[in-house]
Amino acid sequence: MKCNPEYSSKEALLSLYQKPLLELVFEAATIHRKYHNSREVQMSSLLSIKTGGCPEDCGYCPQAARYHTDVDAHKLMNVDEVLNQAKNAKANGSSRLCMGAAWREIRDNKDFDKVVEMVQGVNEMGMEVCCTLGMMSEGQAKRLKNAGLFAYNHNLDSSKEFYSDVISTREYEQRLDTIDNARKAGISVCSGGIIGMGETEEDRVGLLMSYMEMENPPESIPINALVAVEGTPLEDQKPIEQWELIRMVATTRIAFPESIVRLSAGRTKMSMEAQAMCFLGGAGSIFAGDKLLTTPNPEFNEDKEMFKILGLVAKESFADGEQPVTNPDPILLEKKRLAKQRELELEAAKSKVQDDTFEPRKVRTVDSL
Ligand code: SF4
């Protein structure tokens, strides 16, 4: 993945962002057509596999335990339930499933084992699997890669300068480390941000500069508009204008010509015309389905209708990279072997107890007469 060297300084990127809108969209559309099939848009589904109760304090997030929101918290879903939802999303045209868990970081426990099984199952279904599970070590990344993970999402959210206005429980550097760990494991990186949190235009460009400074910018850059949820510190934030989202999508497209720019949260507030401008200006993916983790999103059918009107087609999975191989997971195999061994030992112990309590029929011997 390469970035556009013409815009590698903050000044150049800011003047690009501030260009007259139609010129900006035209430039983005030209680049988009050069690097991508402009009629194809990927439909992805986002599934919250573990909701709420998160110890972090991201100011926009209704899943943070410290905020009083209406989120329906639930523990980690079971593997079969997730596979059924994936099947359903695939039948509705989604070629990628992003599974999100409201965790600060991945822990090496039974829940992570379950996620590994989910990744294996969804990849074997022929869908691109992306996970967003919080901070991740290199070892955990390797385990997910081995299970067949295609991409890992970890957003930088905003510029380094503005970040601490929104989040205090996790450093920007820690986010960069997780992205690095995904890279080292050979996992495709999905990382983007949110606009409308009270940041300046310089901060929006600053987010993109963080990706410019990477040796390998993300293959996938989701651009979200804040969905201000009651009970969160950003609940009173004024909604952004649709034009701002179009501008951000187009700037991202030009700055990172090879990446997929994903039009993510905030679509419910956009008209079809505004979404069409985003597709023209380089958005190559939307999230489909009525929920985006916990916030509302247009229904599958509305999106299908929009695709029909705009002449868009849903992109197939693995159009931008080979399907990873799902290998057996050594930890799961060992756990299954130990469980089997315990089962056998238990059975042996049970039959021993039966043997010990077995009282043979008393036989009268000569002595007992
Ligand atoms: S965005 Fe993620 S890490 Fe931050 S509070 Fe929400 S669930 Fe937790």
Cα-to-chain-centroid distance, residue 363: 74
Closest C-alpha residue for ligand 1 atom 7: 102
Confirm whether 337 is domain-assigned.
no
Indicate the number of domains in the chain.
1
Cα-to-chain-centroid distance, residue 321: 17
Supply the range of the domain harboring residue 166.
12-328
Most ligand 1 atoms within 8 A of CB, residue of 46, 48, 58, 226 to mutate: 58
Cα-to-chain-centroid distance, residue 239: 24
Model pTM greater than 0.75?
yes
Confirm whether 316 is domain-assigned.
yes
Closest C-alpha residue for ligand 1 atom 2: 102
Confirm whether 146 is domain-assigned.
yes
Phi then psi for residue 284, to 5 deg, are: -115, 10
Most ligand 1 atoms within 8 A of CB, residue of 61, 68, 166, 197 to mutate: 61
Q: Exposed, middle or buried, 282 (CB in 10 Å: 0-12/13-18/19+)?
A: buried
Q: What is the 3-state secondary structure (H, E, C) of 232-274?
A: CCCCCCCCCCHHHHHHHHHHHHHHCCCCEEEECCCHHHCCHHH
In the chain, count of helices (H) and strands (E)?
12, 12
Closest C-alpha residue for ligand 1 atom 5: 64
Q: From CA 279, how far away is CA 61, in angstroms rounded?
A: 27
- Distance from the alpha carbon of residue 235 to the mean position of ligand 1, in angstroms: 16
Confirm whether 282 is domain-assigned.
yes
Closest CA to 97 of 285, 266, 257, 267: 285
Q: From CA 297, how far away is CA 312, in angstroms rounded?
A: 19
Helices (H), 125-195: 138-147, 160-166, 172-184
Confirm whether 294 is domain-assigned.
yes
Confirm whether 81 is domain-assigned.
yes
Confirm whether 64 is domain-assigned.
yes
Q: From CA 16, how far away is CA 35, in angstroms rounded?
A: 19
pLDDT, tens digit only, all 369 positions of the chain: 789 999 999 999 999 999 999 999 999 999 999 999 999 999 999 999 999 999 999 999 999 999 999 888 899 999 999 999 999 999 988 999 999 999 999 999 999 999 999 999 999 999 999 999 999 999 999 999 999 999 999 999 999 999 999 999 999 999 999 999 999 999 999 999 999 999 999 999 999 999 999 999 999 999 999 999 999 999 999 999 999 999 999 999 999 999 999 999 888 889 999 999 999 999 999 988 766 556 666 677 888 899 999 999 999 999 989 999 999 999 999 999 999 999 999 999 988 887 766 565 555 554 544
Closest CA to 293 of 47, 43, 54, 128: 47
| 202: CATH | 3.20.20.70
Helices (H), 149-222: 160-166, 172-184, 201-212
Confirm whether 109 is domain-assigned.
yes
